Amino acid sequence: MKGSFTRPREDGAVMPSSGSFFAASLGLHVEASFEGGRLQTLRITDAPAARGPPEGERERGVLARIARHLETGREDLRDVEVDLTGVPPFQRRILEMLREVPPGATLSYGDLAKRAGSPGASRAVGGAMARNPVPIVVPCHRVVPTGKSLGNYSATGGVATKRALLALEGSRF
DNA sequence: CGTTCGGCGCTTA
DNA sequence: CTAAGCGCCGAAC
């Protein structure tokens, strides 16, 4: 038998797909994978596995908006549907709250912790950021330490990537 | 500036 | 099941 239903359907239902584009503002590629039309992972990388647009109209639309954000720094990605199943409860809550933070704004790890009802869990918030499956769309780059530094960023490019993203959005730091 | 130490959620042993 | 270790912190020296 031939496995699961992954061929295209007229209603555009379940269909895994992935694609990537080069983001000049980062000097890196951005690769996304979709499951059932929802964004499941986003990778910032210098070596994408899949090049070019993904399969599916919806998927291409989402990727195009992400690309647009990386040009203008102003795209509102809050309504992009993401798949956070598999992310542990606390981390998931944190990621969901973080989604509401718009381009140009920043907040601290402690702020997020407090907002989640666990003041003192700032370091655990850092852990949630480090494991964010969909950076940029869930804007973990907008979370900075209390004080003047940019803190860390574990995606490809490290703090340089974080700085580029914040600069693009016009954040001051 | 740097160093230490407490605290939290999660993973792994 | 408990225990130890780790990480995009934060506050206090």
Model confidence pLDDT, tens digit, residues A117-173: 999 999 999 999 999 999 999 999 999 999 999 999 999 999 999 999 999 999 987
Q: Considering only residues 72-101 of protein chain A, which place a Cβ less than 7 A from any atom of strand B?
A: 88-91
The nucleotide lying nearest A147 (C-alpha to C1') is: C10
- Give strand B nucleotides closer than 7 A to any protein Cβ: 6-11
pLDDT for A2: 40
pLDDT for A173: 78
pLDDT for A14: 65
Least confident of A1-5, A7-11, A14-18: A1-5
**Is residue A32 a contact partner of residue A63, using CB atoms and an 8 Å limit?**
yes
pLDDT for A13: 55
| Residue given tokens 């993904």 in the structure block | A54
pLDDT tier at A22 (50, 70, 90 boundaries)? very high
* Mean pLDDT rounded to a whole number for chain A: 93
User: What residue type is A34 in one-letter code?
Assistant: F
- In whole angstroms, give the CA distance from residue A138 to residue A84: 11
In terms of phi and psi (left: phi > 0; alpha: psi -120 to 50; beta: otherwise), the region of A123 is alpha
User: What residue type is A99 in one-letter code?
Assistant: R
pLDDT for A157: 96
The nucleotide lying nearest A87 (C-alpha to C1') is: B10
User: Which residue numbers of A are catalytic?
Assistant: 140
Residue A152 CA distance to nucleotide C4 C1' (Å): 25
pLDDT tier at A48 (50, 70, 90 boundaries)? very high
Residue A128 CA distance to nucleotide B8 C1' (Å): 11
- In whole angstroms, give the CA distance from residue A31 to residue A23: 10
pLDDT for A10: 54
- Give strand C nucleotides closer than 7 A to any protein Cβ: 6-11
Q: What is the pTM of this model?
A: 0.91
Q: Which residue is nearest to nucleotide B6 (CA to C1')?
A: A120
Residue A6 CA distance to nucleotide C3 C1' (Å): 44
What residues does A135 pair with on adjacent strands? A138
Could you please report the per-residue DSSP string of A147-161? Answer: SSS-----STTHHHH
- In whole angstroms, give the CA distance from residue A32 to residue A117: 32
Higher local confidence (pLDDT), A139 or A12: A139
Model confidence pLDDT, tens digit, residues A75-123: 999 999 999 999 999 999 999 999 999 999 999 999 999 999 999 999 9
Residue A119 CA distance to nucleotide B6 C1' (Å): 13
Task: Name which of A141, A167, A158, A172 is nearest A73 in CA terms.
Answer: A167
Angle of helix A122-130 versus helix A89-98 axis, rounded to 10? 80
The tokens for A62 are 């989402």
